[in-house]
Amino acid sequence: MEEENLGIVIGTIISADKVKGADRLHIIKVDIGGEIVQIASGVPADFEQGHLINKQIPLKIDVQSVKIRGIESQARFITTIGANNKAVLLVPEENVPKGSKVW
């Protein structure tokens, strides 16, 4: 059986900076193995500052780039919502190489 290309890879969050003047919006930089992608998202607002740094997460990377409040977002977080109505990240059980494909 061949691996299906879902357009999802594992990346490591290297920064998550709050956008000045925004309630929830952050600019997140994620290393996906030799390439840094940027995401504009409110997801980091659901966590303590610094909690996401160095965390490995799955990202949907085969998406059309969009601008949110003028900030380019090149990928999408893969998350779900928990009982407290806050984002819950799906993370690998162990560290894997950046850019590893999810299938």
pLDDT in tens, 56-94: 999 999 999 999 999 999 999 999 999 889 999 999 999
CA torsion 78-93-15-65 (nearest 10°) is: -30
Contacts of 76 (CB under 8 A, 6+ apart): 39, 59, 60, 63
Q: Decide if domain 8-89 falls under CATH 2.40.50.140.
A: yes
Model confidence at 2, pLDDT cuts 50, 70, 90, reads: low
Q: How distant, in Å, are the alpha carbons of 38, 51, 60 from that of 78?
A: 14, 17, 7
| Angle, alpha carbons 19-25-31 (nearest 5°) | 85
Question: For 1-10, 29-38, 53-62, 81-90, which range has the lowest pLDDT when averaged over its residues?
Answer: 1-10
Average pLDDT over residues 49-62: 95
Q: What is the pTM of this model?
A: 0.90
What distance in Å separates the CA atoms of residue 71 and residue 2, rounded to the nearest whole number?
A: 37
User: What's the pLDDT at 5?
Assistant: 87
